[in-house]
Structure 1
Amino acid sequence: MAEKKPPSDDASLQLPPTITVGDLAENLDVSPVEIIKQLMRAGIMAGINQSIDYEVAYGLAKAYGFDPEEKTAEEKISALKLEEGKTENQEPRSPVIAFLGHVDHGKTSLLDYIRKSRVAMGEVGGITQRIGAYQANIADQIVTFLDTPGHEAFTALRARGAQVTDIAVLVVAADDGVMPQTIEAINHIQAANVPMIVAINKMDLPGADPDRVKNELSRQNVLVEDWGGEILSTHVSAETGDGIDTLLENISLVAEIEELQGDASTTFSGVVIESKLDSNRGSLATVLVQSGTLQVGSHVAAGPVWGRIRAMLDHQGERIKQAGPSVPIEILGLNGVPDAGEIIRAMPNEREAKRFAETQKDSTDTSNTTVSLLDQISTQVQQGEIPELVVLVKADLQGSLEAVCGSIEKLGSDSASVMIIHSATGNISESDVFLASASKGLIIGFNTRIEPGAKRLAENENVEIRSYDIIYRLIEDIEEAIHGLITPTVNKVLAGKLEVRQIFDARRAKIAGCLVTEGQALQSADVSVIRNGQTLHESSILTLRHFQDNVPQVNSGQECGLTIDGFNEYEEGDIIEVYRVE
């Protein structure tokens, strides 16, 4: 039991809807270790930086002599809300283009050819692992490109790319045709309500069949111009460069028709495309500016994260002092890692940035660390008596983390479940190992390093850490782990029948002298003793002899002597059924 805090004149305490264990301990004026112990006694595993909901915090506060009340979140500052519609100082801006399509259909290679860089050669396994944002000069116009991952596990990233883009280029391999992720990409483009251009790639290959591709696209309600539709299409080859100029002309044409505009003079707002925690530079976020101008030294907030911009880098890694609409940048100076897809906006000062971020904490999705959700999952697992694989996930990027967790969660079945007890960006630390050890869990690292202390601790605690840089290999391994947890279905097959002909007394047990009337008698096999059609006993054969020899089996028509585990009340005429387990 918790030791109650001595009564005071004012024992009232306001608690938010969610609160970290550390903050609760500070409010209750007790050690975080004491709070963690109380939670463990209640069957809740939570570290000092994990969040618990109001109900759990309420119970703990009451136990320590407080009278807690739930604190409502402050109203969001109305002046900081994003303004809908156009502002007065609209000017033409650069179009933002996203390349989407099936894995290995050549999206990165096409963009690589356009940018005249070698990004594709650096991708692990030839698959784009994260969103990249780049700019290129096309016909005296700056164009921003988003290179969205093509693997199906990165659905959320690809969808995010389509939602922040002005024009989507659907890349389909001429030799492969419409594939599952192609259809998925079409759905994302249509849901985002952005113009589509079709690029039929790999026209240099012998098996290229653009007509088949167009036919398959028509079945997905994507009609290109030469099939009676309005969608522009181009035959291209990322290998030879054929058709690239025509594709760029189509992009420019559609961008001109769209009359894209932005206001660089209004208050800055943008979208976090990607984010990560760097061990040397701290929190890094790739941001696409949507309106206004962001400058070094500006105060910003993105959901519950806030900060002052210490540095900005352009798509080439060069330091810049400001960025306007449609410009992708990497920013340093935030106090945490914002969620990919989060709106980031300028704040008047540090105080307002902190206040706004504080109002966002209560509404932010804390499913990764909130204990109440984990309790629900645990209860469901216990009620169904389902074996579970407990997993802790660390990744280099927030987007990668979402993709890995989403893939793992999909692997659960009626026969086995997967529970992610913690997920975060950054290196695998000693704290992660402690949590995995206490939960008897597995640590999965995706494109992240293991700290030396964590590696030693994992060896001492017998915690398994698996590191990956290709997501489909990770998925395959987890699938195998789940199959290892699943209890095999046991089928008992009748192997033989025996009839008891004579009973012999031995020192420790009675021996049944039997005739095998059907099939076989098998050493250690499961048996049922039946008398007058009623089952008297079920267990297994302890010993099986043919004459004086111990034997593994006795066949039909032969006699044998046997003893059965836990049974001595044989009678002549009893039937013994022998079962083989499959």
Structure 2
Amino acid sequence: MNRATSLIRRVRLITHTDPTLVANYLPFPIFAPAWTPAPPLTCHHARFLATKQGKGHSKVQKVKPKQDKQEVEIKQKMTVSALAQAMNKDFDHVFEALLNTSVDLDSLEPHSVLEEQWIKEVVKRSGMKFKWAKLVESKERENKDTQRRDPPDPAVLVSRPPVVTIMGHVDHGKTTLLDSLRKSQVAAGEAGGITQHIGAFLVQLPSGEKITFLDTPGHAAFSAMRARGALATDIVILVVAADDGVMKQTIESILHAKKAQVPIIVAVNKCDKHQADPARVKQELLSHDVVCEEYGGEVQAIHVSALKGDNLLELAEATVTLAEVMELKGDPTGLVEGTIIESRSDKGKGPVTTAIVQRGTLKKGCTLVAGKTWAKVRFLFDENNCTVKEAGPSTAVEIVGWKELPSAGEEILEVESEKRAREVVDWRCYQEEQDKLKEDMQAIEVKQREHHESYKKEREPLAHLSWRQRKSALYKANKKLMAMRPSEKLESQELSLPLIVKGDVDGSVEAILNILESYDAHHQCQMEVVHFGIGDVSENDLNLAETFSGTIYGFNVGVNKSIQQMATKKGIMLKMHKVIYKLIDDLKDELSSKLPPSVKENVIGVCASVLAMFDVTVGKKKVPVAGCRVQKGQLDRKMKFRLVRDRDVIWEGSLTALKHHKDDVQMVKTGMECGLSVDQDIEFRPGDEVVCYEETETRQTISWDPGF
């Protein structure tokens, strides 16, 4: 009875301390609305509550509230990294969760795709619960894209000006020819005397006919621009210098014209020069299937001098005549269709595109789609930067109002409303994502197979070890690398040059990137483009350059004073250029500067052999001295020396003494005898050869030929 009383007292003490424990420990519910002192308990109840306290009866046992498990959204074919991100864990957590399963952990990588059962197993072992992610795109999405219209009714067609592209080799006078036609000074204002953008101009002849001209760059770097010019044109005027003949870009221009199935008119330029030979030019064109009328072909060849203005009217009349034969017609009605020739970012206007209207009439307020962006046309400008109200077929015009900058070469299509434009852009973005997803999945599968095979080969010696033993072995193998200081790690990495490229227009950036793709480092300095874009150098560009320790190269772009000051403060190199080949030359110099200097060895003197050995007392120490005779050249104490025995190099270093008889000398010439001692304890033998040499460092040059 005393024992029961003691138990009851203990339980009452507990309940007075924490009244909620009564409800937790009693085998029956308590319905009291508020807590009151516990009523007398029976021995049975007291014994039950005391048993719940266990050995630690002096301490109150706390009951943990039940916690809800974290939910993880899963889906089919999840990668390890995707699963880890969904669980808010890292890769190692997923790896450890798959221990003691049949999953091949040796080949497990963040991009590895897991089967459904292992995705669920990882979630369960992590103390979480899973739920299937909602398939938003479970239904096949409706195609919301827009396309070009069907061919127009011949009744609505009207005559239109021809679109003529002037093409040819660099410095053959293309822009000067166009300049003479429209009586302007385009060529005089070009950097380096070369065209570096596609220029689009409307020229009205004295007879009233209109021709839309496209002037394409002749430089090797701008091949893509020439291709776009040929695809958007009706006629190609091929300019060939009479004193230079058919060159590399001339041939390339012919190929572009043939690919686009566009007729050619040859303008043999610079006929006013003494060394001009138009007949040779026409003969050279024969080998490229360009047969002029003189040789029984259909290609017109006009001898002109763009600089003096000779025969330019004949060239224009030949162009108009060919256009009349072609019966060029256009549809000025309905929705607009066109092609972007060039795109750029303007400070005042925002994203701007130069386009050729091919169908319909473009007006202010039209809604256009190009690639994955759209525009509500705010302004239209001609080649003289004057606003125009509308632009019909074959008209070159600048369009302002794009939400984002489209790429040059994109097709322009008008849609009915802004809502429709957003639908088209959303669909195209979705299609691109789906295509990229398929490519990524294929690449992942290929990478997994390759990695699995190579990993097995590399780990065959560790196949008999357990997982923990393997991990230990791999850790020891990489211990030296892990212990390296940051400076040593940087030295161990390959030489590299990170680049940020900025250009004024899309075509210029495209041309520069095409050139950079031709760079193959081999064992030389690596080059990596970490960012490229259109427009002036910005603070974001500086941040990227600082992060990657890179250099900013700008082409026809500006840098304001605050950006320059910030770059100087951060030690970032800004290299601005207006001529593309000068930019590439500068880049080649910087790549070369990254290379370590090459060391060249020049032999100055050779002793045929060591004649004898003897010791000389210096203070209280005996110093071994080799007696030699200079066979060739001279020995200079300031230079480096090498001891050769039986064609093996025994020692390399410096002399501590060089004597002729008893005198210390700086130099010993051919035929003279001398004694020499070295900075190490080296045993000379009769017959050894001593070589005196010097090392000179020369700067290495990058072996990269961009083609110009």
* TM-score grouping bracket, smaller chain normalisation: 0.7 to 0.9
Per-residue deviation, 1:323:
2.2
1:563 corresponds, among 669, 678, 689, to: 678
Q: Note if 1:234 corresponds to 2:271.
A: no
Deviation digits for residues 322-360 of structure 1 (CA, Å, limit 9, x no counterpart)? 322211111111122211111122233323323433444
1:20 matched residue in structure 2 = none
Query: C-alpha separation between the residues in 2 aligned to 1:340 and 1:204?
Result: 37
Q: Is residue 2:160 matched to residue 1:93?
A: yes
Residue type of the alignment partner of 1:172 = V
1:170 is the counterpart of 2:278? no
Q: How does 1:28-67 map to 2 (within 5 A)?
A: none
Give the CA deviation at 1:187: 2.0
How many equivalent pairs are there?
A: 526
Query: Any residues of structure 2 matched to 1:147-296 within 5 Å, and which?
Result: 147-296=215-364
Q: Using the alignment, how far apart are the partners of 2:507 and 2:368 within structure 1?
A: 21
**Partner SS for 1:428:** coil
C-alpha contact 1:521 1:553 (8 A) present in aligned 2: yes
Question: CA offset at residue 447 of structure 1?
Answer: 1.1
Describe the shift of the 1:518–1:385 C-alpha distance in structure 2 as closer, same or farther (beyond 3 A).
farther
Matches within 5 A, 1:345-360: 345-360=413-428
Residue 185 of structure 1 and its aligned partner are, at CA, apart by: 1.6
Aligned with 1:461 (options 543, 560, 570): 570
Whole-angstrom distance in 2 between the partners of 1:239 and 1:270? 34
Tell me how far apart the structure 2 counterparts of residues 456 and 70 of structure 1 sit (CA, whole Å).
51
Name which of 97, 103, 106 aligns with 2:170: 103
The Cα shift of 1:175 comes to 2.4
In the alignment, the residues of structure 1 paired with residue 153 and residue 640 of structure 2 have an alpha-carbon distance, to the nearest angstrom, of 81
Distance 2:136 2:690 in 1: 71
Mean CA deviation greater in 398-407 or 506-515: 506-515
Q: Do the aligned partners of residues 56 and 103 (structure 1) sit closer, same or farther apart at CA in structure 2, a change above 3 Å counting? A: farther
Q: 1:533 to 1:285 in 2, by over 3 A?
A: closer
Equivalent-residue separation in structure 2 for 1:307 and 1:7 (angstroms) = 49
CA distance in 2, matches of 1:509, 1:215: 87
> Matches of 1:578 and 1:249 in 2, distance apart?
79
Is residue 423 of structure 2 the alignment partner of residue 312 of structure 1? no
Moved more, 72-81 or 515-524: 72-81
Residue of structure 2 in register with 1:430 after alignment: 539
* AA aligned opposite 2:146: L
For the 8 Å contact 1:301–1:347, the answer to whether it is kept is yes
Higher mean C-alpha displacement, 271-280 vs 110-119: 110-119
Percent of pairs with identical residues:
34
* Cα offset, 1:229, TM superposition: 1.7
CA 1:57 to 1:534, structure 2 compared with 1: closer, same or farther past 3 Å? closer
- Compared CA separation, residues 515 and 360, structure 1 to 2 (3 A): farther
2:186 to 116, 119, 136: 119
Q: How does 1:447-458 map to 2 (within 5 A)?
A: 447-458=556-567
Alignment of 1:485-504 (within 5 A): 485-492=594-601, 494-498=603-607, 499-500=609-610, 501-502=612-613, 504=615
Between 167-176 and 201-210, the greater mean CA deviation after superposition: 201-210
**Pair 1:392-2:496 in alignment:** no
Which consecutive residues of structure 2, in runs of 5 or more, have no partner in the other structure? 1-67, 89-109, 115-121, 123-127, 448-489, 697-708
CA separation of 1:447 and 1:79: change in aligned 2, threshold 3 A = closer
SS across alignment from 1:249: helix
What is the distance in 2 between the residues matched to 1:84 and 1:447?
Answer: 41
Q: Is the 8 A contact 1:393 1:401 kept in 2?
A: yes
Provide TM-score, normalisation by structure 2. 0.66
Comparing 393-402 and 350-359, the one that deviates more: 350-359
> For the structure 1 residues 522 and 187, does the alpha-carbon distance in structure 2 shift closer, same or farther, using more than 3 Å as the test?
farther
State how far apart, in whole Å, the 2-side matches of 1:79 and 1:390 are: 38
**Per-residue deviation, 1:71:** 9.7
Paired with 1:57 and 1:430, the residues of 2 have a C-alpha distance of: 38
Q: Is the 8 A contact 1:267 1:346 kept in 2?
A: yes
Relative to the length of structure 1, the TM-score reads: 0.79
1:130 corresponds to which of 184, 189, 197: 197
Shift of 1:11: 4.1
Q: Say which SS state the counterpart of residue 80 (structure 1) adopts.
A: coil
Deviates more, 1:399-408 or 1:244-253: 399-408
Question: 2: distance between equivalents of 1:112 and 1:7?
Answer: 76
C-alpha distance in 2, partners of 1:141/1:495? 79
Q: 1:137 to 1:559 in 2, by over 3 A?
A: same
CA distance in 1, matches of 2:518, 2:134: 38
Q: Hey, what's the Cα distance between the residues in 1 that align with 2:244 and 2:642?
A: 59
Distance 2:622 2:214 in 1: 79
Q: 1:556 to 1:409 in 2, by over 3 A?
A: farther
Change over 3 Å in CA distance of 1:248–1:544 after alignment to 2: farther
CA–CA distance in structure 1, aligned partners of residues 388 and 72 of structure 2: 53
Q: Which ranges of structure 1 fall in alignment gaps of 5 or more residues?
A: 1-5, 16-23, 31-54, 377-381
**SS at the partner of 2:654?**
strand
Match of 2:590 in 1: 481
Q: What corresponds to 2:510 in structure 1?
A: 402
1:542 Cα deviation from its structure 2 partner: 5.4
Q: Deviations over 1:44-79 (max 9, x none)?
A: xxxxxxxxxxx88999xx9xx999999989968465
Aligned pair in 2 of structure 1 residues 549, 122: CA closer, same or farther (>3 Å)? same
**Structure 2 counterpart of 1:176, one-letter code:** D
Q: Which residue of 2 aligns with 1:420?
A: 529
Q: After alignment, is 542-551 or 471-480 more displaced?
A: 542-551
What pairs up with 1:503-542 in 2 under 5 angstroms?
A: 504=615, 512-519=625-632, 520-523=634-637, 525=639, 527-531=641-645, 534-537=648-651, 539-541=652-654
Deviation at 1:299, TM superposition (A): 2.1
User: For 1:71 and 1:568, how far apart are their aligned partners in 2?
Assistant: 81
Classify 1:401/1:255 alpha carbon distance in 2 versus 1 (closer, same or farther; 3 Å). Answer: same
1:406 corresponds to which letter in structure 2?
Answer: N
Which residue number corresponds to residue 440 of structure 1? 549
The question of whether the paired residues in 2 share the 8 Å contact of 1:264 and 1:324 is answered with yes
- The structure-2 alpha-carbon separation of the partners of 1:202 and 1:531, relative to structure 1 and needing over 3 Å to count, comes to closer
Tell which deviates more after alignment, 466-475 or 550-559. Answer: 550-559
Structure with more of its chain in strand, by fraction = 1
Q: How far apart in 1 are the matches of 2:349 and 2:188? A: 26
Give, as a single letter, the amino acid of the residue that structure 1 aligns with 2:545. Answer: A
Q: Which has the higher contact order (CA 8 A, sep 6+)?
A: 1
Paired residues of 2:499 and 2:527 also in contact (CA < 8 A): yes
* 1:525 and 1:580 in contact (8 A); partners too: yes
Alignment pair present for 1:327 and 2:395: yes
Following TM superposition, by how much is the alpha carbon of 1:256 offset from its aligned partner in structure 2, in angstroms? 2.0
Match of 2:406 among 324, 338, 345: 338
Moved more, 458-467 or 129-138: 129-138
Q: From the superposition, tell whether residues 8 and 96 of structure 1 become closer, same or farther in structure 2 (CA, over 3 Å).
A: farther
Note if contact 1:390-1:441 (Cα within 8 Å) is conserved in structure 2: yes
Give per-residue Cα distances to partners, 1:431-457, cap 9 Å, x unaligned. 212221222222111111113332111
Q: Which moved more, 1:190-199 or 1:257-266?
A: 257-266
Most deviating of 111-120 and 492-501: 492-501
Change (3 A) 1:283 1:533: closer
Amino acid paired to 2:653: S
State how far apart, in whole Å, the 1-side matches of 2:508 and 2:142 are.
30
Alpha-carbon distance in structure 1 between the residues aligned to 2:527 and 2:667:
41
Q: 1 CA distance for matches of 2:504 and 2:653?
A: 54
> Does the 8 Å contact 1:296/1:312 carry over to 2?
yes
Distance 2:613 2:135 in 1: 79
- Measure the CA separation in 1 of the matches of 2:544 and 2:134: 30
Q: Pick closer, same or farther for the CA change 1:341–1:544 going to 2, 3 Å.
A: farther
